[in-house]
């Protein structure tokens, strides 16, 4: 099993302004000689997180949204998390309704929980 590492040139100031987690990570790096921050985020989710940080948009699919949500939660990016939840609400169907209901309960997302509940009624 190989781990995938990619380098993304970024503006620390922009990322720090968007994420309390990254702000703290960059603050802790100030005295380090290593200029790289390693994150436990899958590469496609990190690319989407960066796209959202710079443009307030990213490409979401039913295949990638859970990984992007995990990245948003890790980085404490509420706006990206809400963006993903809006996507889920607009893509609700009989195949994913119970999964999304459980997801909404797990993440205490009352808006998504209400939408899934109404869909079931």
Q: Is residue 4 part of a domain?
A: no
| DSSP-assigned letters across all residues of 78-99 | HHHHHHHHHHHHHT--TTTHHH
Q: For position 120, what pLDDT does the model report? A: 87
**Cα–Cα distance for residue pair 104/82, rounded to 1 Å:** 12
**Cα–Cα distance for residue pair 31/68, rounded to 1 Å:** 30
More confident residue, 58 or 11: 58
Q: What digits encode the pLDDT tens for the residues 13-24? A: 999 999 999 999
Q: For position 4, what pLDDT does the model report? A: 63
Average pLDDT rounded to a whole number, residues 77-85: 97
Q: For position 104, what pLDDT does the model report? A: 93
**Cα–Cα distance for residue pair 113/33, rounded to 1 Å:** 46
Residues 63, 114, single domain; the answer is: no
SS (HEC) of 104-121: HHHCCCHHHHHHHHHHHC
The mean pLDDT of the chain is: 91
Residues 45, 64, single domain; the answer is: yes
More confident residue, 27 or 1: 27
Q: Is residue 68 part of a domain?
A: yes
Residues 14, 69, single domain; the answer is: yes
Residues 83, 119, single domain; the answer is: no
Could you give the percent of the chain with pLDDT greater than 90?
Answer: 74
Q: For position 18, what pLDDT does the model report? A: 96
Q: Is residue 107 part of a domain?
A: yes
Sign of the Cα pseudo-torsion (9, 12, 17, 20, in order)? positive
Total domains in the fold of the chain = 2
**Cα–Cα distance for residue pair 117/101, rounded to 1 Å:** 7
Sign of the Cα pseudo-torsion (45, 46, 52, 58, in order)? negative
Provide the residue range defining the domain that includes 100. 91-121
Tell me the whole-structure pTM to 2 decimals: 0.86
């Amino acid at each position: 099993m190989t781990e995938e590492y990619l380098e993304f040139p970024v503006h620390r100031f922009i990322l720090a302004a968007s994420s309390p987690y990254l702000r703290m990570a960059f603050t802790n790096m100030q005295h380090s000689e290593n200029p790289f921050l390693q994150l436990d985020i899958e590469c496609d989710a990190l690319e989407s997180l960066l796209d959202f940080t710079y443009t307030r948009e990213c490409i979401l699919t039913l295949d990638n949204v859970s990984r992007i949500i995990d990245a948003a939660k890790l980085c404490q990016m509420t706006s990206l998390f809400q963006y993903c939840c809006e996507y889920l609400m607009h893509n609700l169907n009989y195949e994913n309704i119970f999964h999304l209901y459980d997801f909404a309960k797990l993440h205490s997302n009352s808006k998504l929980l209400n939408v899934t509940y109404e869909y079931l009624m």
